[in-house]
A and B are shown apart, each in its own frame.
Chain A
Amino acid sequence: MKSYLRILGALVCLGIIVLLAIIFVPPQLTKPSEQLAADWKPAPGQGEYAMRMADCAACHTAEGGKPFAGGRAIESPMGTIWATNITPDKETGIGNWSLDEFRAALVDGIAPGGEHLYPAMPYENYRNLSETDIRAMYDYFMNEVPAVNNAVEETALSFPFNQRWGIRLWNWVALGSSGFKPETDAIAKDRQLARGAYLVQGPGHCASCHSPRNLIMAEGGTSSQDDGFLSSGVIGGWAAPDLRGANAPAQTWSAADLKAYLTTGRNAHTAVAGEMALAVKDSLQYMTDEDADAMVAYLHHIAKGERLAAPSIPDQSLSAPRQLDQATDATSLKLAKGVGLSEGELLYMDNCAACHLTNGKGAAEVFPAMSDNSLVVADEKAGLIETILYGAEMPSTAKRPEKLKMPGFAERLSDKDVAALASFLRQGWGNTAGAVTEADVKAVRK
């Protein structure tokens, strides 16, 4: 008994020492992944382009705020995390930061003085950033971004999440190695695939939304070697769909359609909404043709199995009535006939068919198809319900500037209506997703 107590005492002492070490021993910072010449200078525009690809503005520019002056609230399960001011202002921004300090924030999630950043800052992905991109961005933020004096609200999460040293433990478990390495030889040997892999895993931080989170909220998969990588995640109640399954739209679409989706926010099958619309607007539309092709080639390369063909789209050279006449599936035929419709079908005819048509295919690059649409059939129903209640708007992009808009129906449809309508969409035209309940709608209605 006595010796048992002694062992216990020793363990407690050891625990305390480890804890103190976690709290007080400064963490090791990641070294540059590549040695660049001291007088290395980015080409004109290189820093801004790297920033676009990494989409720093998505979080660090507040709605209607000055670029990069911070103040955007990022809701997390633990409370609100405020994105900081990263303009070169010396008092409230990062004007005094050295390149090493800047790199540490991006790849280790550590601010000067050793303070750990919350992983709302996606250093889990930015660990893959190349040294040239980091230096180009540092140059851009220090020399091209106007300094803005803007003190951002201090993030104050409740205990225990306000104990930032705890993040160190999380980092030990969650973080992969730093520096980007193509996951297979095949990718490493192909310049285009390697570039695509880098863009997806590094700056594009696609996995931060499109990979599931595991038990400790770390990304379930950081490269295509992991099954979970880009196999669908959840953001704000919306599905960030599977990008790799053989019948996932991202795989069934042609390369041209996937490229069009990423760079213009619309393609022959669908249009972008929600958080992904912001990624297109602020980041992906700026991709060079070469980079866009690389991203598409990589995404198609990491398909799970043989990519299936996308459902056919009506022959756009036919007149609209002829396109509708082509439909042969039960839902299209029933709607077009208009007899014996259920409440959900009638609501679709009264409210939606004018744009999305009775064949549920809409029109290429204008009205998304309802069949085989990830948003419509997602397990997470909030995206669909939110779109019906509050509408959606395509981002304006250089190649396709029209902000085509879906109106919201919150004023016109009750919770019961939306449930009946959404349930119909999820089961019409060959869709096979579960029904939506009134309670589901109630939870989303603001």
Chain B
Amino acid sequence: MTDLPGRVSRRGFLMGSAASAAFATLMNPSFSHAQVELPPLEEYKPVFFDADEWRFIMAACDRLIPAEGEGPGALETRVPVFIDLQMTGSFGDASDWYMAGPHQPDASPLFGWQSPLTPAQIYRKAIPLFQEWCQTTHGKAFEALDAETRDSALTALQKGEVGLAPELRDFFSILLQNTKEGYFADPMYGGNYQLKAWTFIGFPGARGAYTEWVTRHNQTYPLPAVSISGERA
């Protein structure tokens, strides 16, 4: 997987969270600490993706973290909303990355991000190409395939067997990474709806004070997860 630049800076995270405060209030307009209830995901109006792209994103997320099996799926936790919102921010337009070149898109992945394109541009260009590949190979759009075929299509995409140009080759990496991020990021970014992912793995959230638990072993932590805005699971 490509090591994405600018992803580990705490400062960047904090600034990002400040910038997202607007979204946070949008998501959580009341002060309530009870779980936020939002209209169903189907009614969400994407701010970046068009209708075709959105159908793909929903279907792809649904396979990367499926609903069946353990824990909530990507759709239940509104991961596609997270990805959509990220596209319009500094991640989507790579505004805080070094993007001035020289670019060597076919260099070894060990050299990090080499594409001249921003993540949002990669999503935009790669989705139709991948859909074309699905049509040619499987006779249907990705979202119309059955679950098993979707998985094999995504595997082909991951393995670089779809024939994307070098500057688009990171498409699967960022899609998978953004899906995981949307699952585990604070709900203020649109995903991890009702802190379901945190609750699933037993992460207590942004309470930030567990000092008395340091010396207690093999005891269940009793308090519900809490988000940065104060929402509780």
Q: A349-B207, A412-B31, A412-B230 are in contact. Are A321 and B214 (CB under 8 A)?
A: yes
A354–B212 contact, CB under 8 A? no
Interface 1/0s, chain A 321-359, versus B by CB < 8 A?
110110000000000111101000011011101110110
CA distance A355 to B209 in the complex (A): 8
Whole-angstrom distance between the alpha carbons of A355 and B207 in the complex? 11
Contacts of A321 in B (CB 8 A): 211-212, 214-215
Distance of A368 Cα from B52 Cα, bound (Å): 56
Closest CB in chain B relative to A218 CB, distance in Å? 43
| Residues A325 and B212 in contact, CB atoms below 8 Å apart | yes
Q: Which residue in chain B gives the minimum CB-CB distance to A355?
A: B209
* Residues of chain B lying within 8 A (CB to CB) of residue A411: 21
CA distance A48 to B226 in the complex (A): 52
Known interface pairs A338-B222, A350-B230. Does A324 touch B211 (Cβ–Cβ under 8 Å)? yes
What is the distance, in angstroms, from A8's C-beta to the closest C-beta of chain B? 65
Pairwise interchain contact B209-A357, C-beta atoms closer than 8 A: yes
- Which residue of chain B has the shortest Cβ distance to A409 in the bound complex? B230
Cβ of B17 within 8 Å of any chain A Cβ, yes or no, is: no
Residue B97 at the chain A interface, CB threshold 8 Å = no
A350 touches B212 (CB 8 A): no
When the two chains form their complex, are residues A354 and B208 in contact, meaning their CB atoms are under 8 A apart?
yes
CB-based A-B contact count at 8 angstroms = 54
Q: Verify A349–B209 contact, CB threshold 8 A.
A: yes
Check if A417 is an interface residue, CB within 8 A of chain B: yes
**B215–A354 contact, CB under 8 A?**
no
Q: Is there a chain B Cβ closer than 8 Å to A313's Cβ? A: no
When chains A and B are docked, how far (Å) is the Cα of A336 from the Cα of B32? 24
**CA gap between A411 and B30 in the complex, in Å:** 10
Say yes or no: B215 contacts A325, CB within 8 Å: yes
The binding surface of chain B is classed by DSSP as loop
Q: Does B111 interact with chain A (Cβ within 8 Å)?
A: no
- The size bracket of the interface on B is 10 to 19
B229 at the interface (CB under 8 A from A): yes
Q: Which residue of the partner chain B has the closest CB to A412? A: B230
**A48 CA to B21 CA in the complex, in Å?**
47
- Which of A325, A341, A354, A413 contacts B209, CB < 8 Å? A354
Instruction: Give B17 Cβ to nearest chain A Cβ, in Å.
Output: 12
Q: A338 contacts which chain B residues (CB < 8 A)?
A: 221-223
- B232 interfacial by beta-carbon distance below 8 Å: yes
Q: How many residues of A contact B (CB 8 A)?
A: 26
Q: How far is the CA of A414 from the CA of B32 in the complex (A)?
A: 8
Q: Does any Cβ of A come within 8 Å of B138's Cβ? A: no
CB of A412 within 8 A of CB of B229, answer: yes
Q: How far is the CA of A47 from the CA of B92 in the complex (A)?
A: 62
Known: A338-B223, A339-B222, A412-B230. A354 touches B207 (CB 8 A): yes
A346 x B223 contact (CB < 8 A)? yes
Docked pose: A347 CA to B226 CA in angstroms: 10
Q: How far is the CA of A352 from the CA of B229 in the complex (A)?
A: 14
The answer to whether the Cβ of A320 comes within 8 Å of any Cβ in the partner chain is: yes
Q: Would you call A336 and B212 a contact (CB within 8 A)? A: yes
Smallest CB separation, A369 vs chain B (Å): 16
CB pair A324 B207 closer than 8 Å: no
CB distance from B191 to the nearest CB of A (A): 20
* Among A341, A350, A411, A412: residue with most chain B CB under 10 A: A350
Question: CA A354 – CA B32 in complex, angstroms?
Answer: 21
Contact of A413 among B31, B214, B215 (CB under 8 A): B31
The reply to whether the CB of B103 lies closer than 8 angstroms to some CB of chain A is no
When chains A and B are docked, how far (Å) is the Cα of A320 from the Cα of B209? 11
| A359, closest chain B residue (CB) | B212
Question: A134–B32 Cα gap in the complex (Å)?
Answer: 57
Which A residues lie within 8 Å of B230 (CB)? Answer: 350-351, 412-413
Q: Are the C-beta atoms of A417 and B221 separated by less than 8 Å?
A: no
Say yes or no: is B33 at the interface (Cβ < 8 Å to chain A): yes
Q: Mark out the residues of chain B between 175 and 233 whose CB falls within 8 Å of any chain A CB in the assembled complex.
A: 207-209, 211-212, 214-215, 221-223, 226, 229-230, 232
A355 to B208, CA, bound (A): 9
Contact A417 B31 (CB under 8 A): yes
Chain A residues 169-218 with CB under 8 Å of chain B are none
Distance in Å: Cβ of A370 to nearest Cβ of chain B? 14
Task: Tell me the chain A residues, 396-416 only, with Cβ under 8 Å from chain B.
Answer: 411-414, 416
Nearest Cβ on chain A to B75's Cβ, whole angstroms: 28
A342 to B226 alpha-carbon distance, docked (Å): 16
Q: Quote the shortest CB–CB distance from B30 to chain A (angstroms).
A: 8
Residues of A within 8 A of B221 (CB): 338
CB of B232 within 8 A of CB of A350, answer yes
- B209 contacts across to A, CB distance below 8 A: 349, 353-355, 357-358
Residues of chain A lying within 8 A (CB to CB) of residue B31: 412-414, 416-417
Separation in Å of the A329 CB from the closest CB of chain B? 14
Shortest Cβ distance from B24 into A: residue = A411
In the complex, chain B residues whose CB is within 8 Å of the CB of A325: 212, 215
Looking at B31, B208, B232, the one whose CB has the most chain A CB atoms below 10 A away is: B31
For chain B residues 17-34, which have a beta carbon within 8 Å of chain A? 21, 30-33
Question: In the complex the two chains form, what is the Cα distance from A82 to B118 in whole Å?
Answer: 57
A294-338 interface code vs B (CB 8 A; 1 in, 0 out): 000000000000000000000000001110110000000000111
Q: Kindly report which residue of chain B lies nearest to residue A325, judged by CB atoms.
A: B215
- Bound complex: CA A324 to CA B214 (Å): 11
CB neighbours of A346 from chain B (8 A): 33, 223, 232
A residues near B21, Cβ cutoff 8 Å: 411
Partner of A357 from B211, B214, B223, B226 at Cβ < 8 Å: B211
Contacts of A320 in B (CB 8 A): 211, 214
Q: A360–B93 Cα gap in the complex (Å)?
A: 45
CB distance from B169 to the nearest CB of A (A): 42
In the complex, are the beta carbons of A349 and B223 less than 8 A apart? yes
The 5 A-B pairs of least Cβ separation, nearest first, read A414-B31, A354-B209, A354-B208, A321-B214, A338-B222
A412-B229, A416-B31 are known; give 8 further A-B pairs, CB within 8 A.
A321-B212, A321-B214, A338-B222, A346-B223, A346-B232, A349-B223, A354-B209, A413-B230
Query: Measuring CB to CB, which residues of chain A are less than 8 angstroms from any residue of chain B?
Result: 320-322, 324-325, 336-339, 341, 346-347, 349-351, 353-355, 357-358, 411-414, 416-417
12 sampled A-B residue pairs with Cβ under 8 A: A320-B211, A321-B215, A324-B212, A325-B215, A338-B223, A349-B207, A349-B209, A353-B207, A354-B207, A412-B229, A414-B32, A417-B31
